A and B are shown apart, each in its own frame.
Chain A
Amino acid sequence: MIARIIQIPITLVIILCITFFLIHAAPGDPVASLAGDFVTKEYRDLIIKHYELDKPLTIQALIYFKNIFTGDFGTSYYFKDSVLNVIGNRIIPTLLLVIPSIVISSFLGIYLGYLSARSSTVLSRISIPVTSIIVTSIPTFWLGYLLILFFSIKLNIFPIQGISNPRHSLEGLYYYVDIIFHLFLPLLTMIISQLAQVILLLRQKLIYEISLPYFRTAQSKGLSYRKAIINHSLQNAILPVITVAGNRFSFLITGSILTETVFSWPGLGRLMIQAIEVRDYPLVLGILFILSVIVMVLNLLTDLVYTLIDPRITFKSDG
């Protein structure tokens, strides 16, 4: 366990190193984007000297790591603000999409998976997973536009894009209500794209649990089919869903890029693409750092939760 915690910083350093050299190896530099459409030799020299880009790569890397230890992630070239500030602003919209979508799709998925396992006819047992597979297969960006076309344009209920109303800057309660309105469609897109996974997973586990001997025992003790499921099998079947949720988180943070692009949602994914495009080295590295930390911590927590819930599994770092 301690070993796992120690591994985190080491892995972080390795990832950062790889990314550092990758992005500096990419052709081009920040100068062109900072200058506009016209660059002079003097301007280029000025900028390069200012950001210490003329020093050898390894020296730059060492400087960067030294700064990280003191908590200084540098200043974004493009935004001219501290990297942590910039990321902090943009990570909240992404989290607003990711966390509720995981929670809601988990609940919904568990319910639908349960429905599909317990119903009596084969048709209804199959129809839920199959429908969910087909619906989930819709590419997120296509789905996003479909939802916009239907809900925003035809039915005129929800706003088309962005996170807040452009015309009136609202304060307090109205501000939050406004955000929720804007959140609805992107969130719906994210939820739909995750449903199948949860449904299938739960369904599989549930069917497995039902096939185990203890289920028969429960039934013979007098519990109805339905009750037996709810009281016993479901608890076991939910386990993997919870643990998988942790992994899904890391997928989704990067996966939200597509949804963010369709809905002009000011999130981390779009920020990353922008940062790469303008070669904003500190920002790119900062984002990668934060994301990697989140992923690793979540993996750790997920494994921890799993061992706590299911005492049969011992804490091992692999397998």
Chain B
Amino acid sequence: MKIFATILLILIPFSVFAEKTLVVATAADPGHLNPGITTGYNVHVFADSIYSGLIMLNKNLQPEPDLAESWTISDDAKTFTFNIRKDAKWHDGHSVTSEDVKYTFENVLFKYHSRTKSGLGKKVKSILTPNPKKVIFQLNNSYSPMITRLNVTEAPILPKHIFSSGNPNDHSANLNPIGSGPFIFKKYKKGESVELLKNKNFYIKGLPYFDKLVMRIIPDSVSQLLALQSGEVDYIDRVPGAELKRLQNNPSIALARNTAGPGGGNCIVTITYNLDKNKTSNLAVRKALAHAIDRDRIVKQVLFGLGRVASAPINKGIAWAHEYNSLKEYDFSPQKAEDILDQAGYKRKSDGIRMTLDIVHFPRFSKYIEAMKQDLSKVGINLVSRALDRSAAVSTIFEKRDFDLNLISYCNGADPDIGVKRMYVSTNIGNIPFSNGAAYRNLKIDSLFDDAGQIADNNLRAKKYKQIQNILANDLPYWWLVERQFLTAHNSNVSGFRSWSGNFALNAK
């Protein structure tokens, strides 16, 4: 790029260089820029810098002021009052009011944003707007995690005066967003890039530092890395794990490891057992599989060290609820696996194979499957891989339930009530993608989850969740493989990225 850069230097007037631009590379094309109608990572990575939520989460996933400068929670955790900043304005000049909040929740989020809808939809009794800068949420029952679900990824606030005319799903503002966040939308070149400009009237004075934020769509992680190394981009959100060692020794590149990102956090790559099918309904088979897979090797070779073996059904990132030793009994031991299978009656036949199992998965998780294939074949299980693209996989798993095993990365979110509960409650069995794929039915678990959601005190909730995890460890409806970490890399001249959240470029300079 040196020759090209020299030409550029000569040709372009100096004023261009006075402008500080941050260039970011991401893999997926957003399609549209409305974060309220989808939970998709591809949209949020762009749109979360244009819009804002009531709060934002800091590094420890605790709430900090965003649109709301302060808030109070009633003692019974049933009423949440937020004071919206006086100087919060939309990019077109209108003031951000509580009407916007009410409108967004009732007409957009509770209809189209699946996570918020399923998590908060039934809990919110009413939203009151006593004055333009004050909004009150009244809940049916106490729900302390409420506040962690109000950041820009889970609950972005959309402008009522723009979206109220028409259907949010098809609105022209989806391609020309007016938000209240640190960056203003300038241009979207499909398949190529999105350009954002600094919001000079942003309510947090002094931020953002960059005048321009350009987000490039580079699907290939190696191309992203090459672009970073050559200086074409400053920040990439996908780093090929194999390069980790090399990059750590490179002083011009800084790395950041996070357990969360714009698409969700605290993710565990999980194997689902189809409890309605012959072999996988047998607990012995499930236990044997758990002993047969070398999860340390997966962390080493598939994740290149970017992650941990899952030691409990709830991600370690939710520290207060994580039950440390719940999965301890399932150590890596092919011998134990073989013994269990022998005792269960699945002996090795003449060709050495005990049974054949198939596993449905998205193509991008193929590496896990390949590692599992190696381990399972050693104990006599032939693993057949069925890679289906996303839509087909979802339909096969949740609609037709045509699988023995499947592999999905389930993200827990900031609170177990967000991303954990959906996998285990019996009300979630059916054509509801990314929910209870195993068809696990346990009424005790159902009631424990319900209770835990309604208690305000985290300590008391923790007791319930730990109980849940111990029961799950015995029943083993799923097998929790590894907790993934996300690796982002950036030019070491730049710092201050909030890589764990949607508006990651807020503090960057």
Point out residues on A near B: beta carbons under 8 Å.
Answer: 26-44, 46-47, 50, 75-76, 78-81, 86, 89-90, 148, 152-153, 156-170, 174, 181, 261-262, 264, 266-267, 270-271, 274, 276-279
Contacts and interface: CB of A to CB of B under 8 A. Distances in A.
Nearest to A279: B391
B216 A162 contact: yes
Contacts of B8: 165, 168, 174
A27 B396 contact: yes
Nearest to A159: B1
B21 A44 contact: no
Please indicate which of the listed interface residues B112, B263, B400 has the most CB atoms of chain A within 10 Å of its own CB: B112
Contact of A166 (B11, B32, B187, B227): B227
A166 B233 contact: yes
Contacts of B341: none
B114 A39 contact: yes
Nearest to A271: B191
Nearest to B193: A166
Contacts, number: 188
Interface stretch (B36-44, B125-133, B332-340, B439-447): B36-44
Given A32-B390, A148-B226, A167-B214, 19 more contacts: A26-B391, A35-B38, A35-B39, A37-B263, A37-B264, A38-B118, A38-B433, A46-B112, A152-B230, A153-B226, A161-B220, A162-B216, A166-B23, A166-B193, A264-B219, A266-B189, A266-B190, A267-B191, A277-B390
Contacts of A33: 40, 390-391
Given A37-B263, A80-B31, A264-B223, A27 B391 contact: yes
B3 A156 contact: yes
A29 B391 contact: yes
B214 A75 contact: no
Contacts of A174: 8, 11-12
Nearest to B220: A264
Nearest to A280: B31
B192 A36 contact: no
Contact of A169 (B214, B393, B434): B214
Interface of B: 1-4, 8, 11-12, 16, 21, 23, 25, 29, 31-32, 37-41, 43, 111-112, 114-115, 117-118, 167, 169-170, 174-175, 187, 189-193, 195, 214, 216-220, 223, 226-227, 230, 232-233, 263-264, 388-396, 400, 411, 422, 430-434
A53 to B, nearest CB: 12
The 3 A-B pairs of least Cβ separation, nearest first, read: A28-B391, A36-B39, A266-B191
A236 B362 CA distance: 53
B21 A40 contact: no
A153 B2 CA distance: 11
B232 A79 contact: no
B431 A44 contact: yes
B214 A266 contact: no
Contacts of B431: 41, 44
A89 B226 contact: no
Nearest to B32: A80
Given A29-B391, A160-B232, A181 B192 contact: no
A37 B434 contact: yes
Please indicate which of the listed interface residues A38, A78, A90, A159 has the most CB atoms of chain B within 10 Å of its own CB: A38
Contacts of A86: 190
A42 to B, nearest CB: 7
Contact of A40 (B23, B390, B432): B432
Contact of B111 (A43, A157, A181, A274): A43
Contacts of B11: 174
Contacts of B214: 166-167, 169
Contacts of A30: 391
B227 A160 contact: yes
Contact of A89 (B191, B227, B233): B191
Contacts of B16: 168
A36 B114 contact: yes
A80 B174 contact: yes
Nearest to B169: A50
Contacts of A76: 31
Contacts of B39: 35-38
A28 B392 contact: yes
B31 A79 contact: yes
